[in-house]
């Protein structure tokens, strides 16, 4: 693998010579632009609009257009010789807790390799970052552009992740729902139950690019002269009317896919129906209590009537 940058990490008074390598590689099915009727390749020519002639790539430079239309031409040599102090130095600015950096700022990732006799200070910085849980905020100039970046340990390697500048991240407040939208605590509890059902540890090997795999199958089929089989489209999901019912169905489906049977206990979402069942079971107890109360009233009435009968019999004995 070829290094894309060589320089040093400036860690206080410690200098760590490093080589920088691209840490990621995007994989996709490459296409060519072709003529649909005969498959002929579509070619683009670099034509100068002033001379009307094709220009070789070696004669192409970068131009910045001024408001009046005048073009300022910058050559590759001029761009590579910009007076940037970070052109060959990864300058550590400060250290911040890793969880405070929003992932929206992350742009590209690179591996840093100790260059020459820099292994010891490299390991020193790596282990110190790991022990403190801090991330180093740095500045670095890669590919003729200065970037804010963070330096952090990953396994046994230091990873440099370039970041967007604050003015490059758009304000997302326009996408937030209206402030008067409310959800019930029961709905939040059900959603939490769904999250808990799918909760696991992160293992990137579990996920695959199904779109790329489908494209490769189509290309293979057309190459072999086979008919391309189009899978049946999944039925469209209807509009959610009962949010609680939809969440409960989601929990049950998630459990089914994990090979688990829907359970009536073990999650917040299932405790609520259980409470309702318990309330239903207690209802007959209220009726029994009502019967006991009625029996007590009847006994009380009978007790009150008994003295009245004795009072009627007493005078009869005296007259005899």
Residues in CB range of 158: below 8 A, 6 or more apart:
9, 18, 111, 112, 122, 125, 126, 129, 151, 152
Q: Which helix (H) or strand (E) holds 62?
A: strand 62-65
Q: What gap in Å lies between CA 124 and CA 13, rounded to an integer?
A: 13
Q: What gap in Å lies between CA 171 and CA 226, rounded to an integer?
A: 49
Q: Domains of the chain by range and CATH?
A: 1-27+83-169 (2.40.290.10), 182-200+241-293 (no CATH)
DSSP letter, residue 155:
T
- Judge whether residue 59 has pLDDT over 50: yes
Q: State the pLDDT at residue 272.
A: 41
Contact 146, 91 (CB under 8 A): no
Contact 129, 136 (CB under 8 A): yes
Q: State the pLDDT at residue 306.
A: 44
Lowest-pLDDT choice from 65-69, 77-81, 269-273: 269-273
DSSP letter, residue 177:
P
Residue 84's pLDDT band, with cuts at 50, 70 and 90, is: low
- Judge whether residue 164 has pLDDT over 50: yes
Which pTM value belongs to this model? 0.64
Q: What rounded mean pLDDT belongs to the chain?
A: 78
Give burial (CB, 10 Å; 0-12/13-18/19+) of 136: buried
Three-class secondary structure assignment of 229-291: CCCCCCCCCCCCCCHHHHHHHHHHHHHHHCCCCCCCCCCHHHHHHHHHHHHHHHHHHHHHHHH
* More reliable by pLDDT, 319 or 19: 19
For range 265-282, the mean pLDDT: 41
Q: How many CA atoms does the CB half-sphere of 51 hold within 13 Å?
A: 6
Residue 210's pLDDT band, with cuts at 50, 70 and 90, is: confident
Q: What gap in Å lies between CA 19 and CA 2, rounded to an integer?
A: 9
């Amino acid at each position: 693998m070829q290094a894309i940058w060589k320089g040093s990490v400036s860690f206080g008074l410690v200098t760590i010579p490093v080589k920088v390598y691209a840490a990621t590689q995007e994989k996709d099915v490459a296409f060519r632009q072709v003529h649909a009727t005969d498959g002929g390749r579509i070619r683009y020519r670099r034509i100068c609009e002033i001379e009307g002639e094709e220009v070789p790539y070696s004669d192409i430079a970068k131009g910045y257009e001024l408001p009046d239309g005048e073009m300022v031409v910058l050559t590759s040599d001029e761009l590579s010789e910009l007076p940037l102090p970070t052109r060959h130095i990864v300058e550590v600015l400060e250290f911040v807790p890793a969880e405070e950096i929003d992932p929206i700022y992350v742009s590209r990732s690179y591996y840093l390799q100790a260059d020459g006799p820099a292994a010891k200070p490299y390991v020193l910085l790596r282990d110190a970052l790991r022990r403190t849980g801090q991330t180093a905020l740095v500045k670095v100039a890669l590919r003729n552009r200065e970037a804010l970046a963070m330096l952090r340990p990953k396994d046994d390697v230091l990873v440099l992740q370039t970041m967007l500048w604050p003015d490059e991240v758009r304000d997302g407040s326009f996408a937030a729902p209206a402030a008067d939208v409310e959800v019930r605590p029961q709905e939040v509890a059900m959603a939490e139950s769904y999250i808990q059902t799918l909760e696991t540890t992160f293992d990137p090997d579990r996920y695959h690019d199904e779109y790329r795999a489908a494209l490769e199958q189509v290309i293979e089929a057309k190459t072999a002269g086979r008919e391309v089989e189009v899978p049946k489209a999944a039925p469209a999901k209807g509009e959610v009317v009962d949010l609680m019912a939809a969440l409960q169905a989601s929990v049950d489906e998630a459990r089914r896919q994990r090979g688990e049977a829907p359970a009536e206990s073990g999650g917040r979402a299932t405790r609520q129906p259980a409470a309702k069942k318990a309330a239903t079971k207690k209802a007959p107890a209220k009726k029994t209590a009502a019967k006991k109360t009625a029996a007590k009233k009847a006994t009380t009435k009978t007790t009150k009537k008994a003295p009245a009968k004795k009072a009627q019999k007493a005078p009869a004995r005296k007259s005899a």
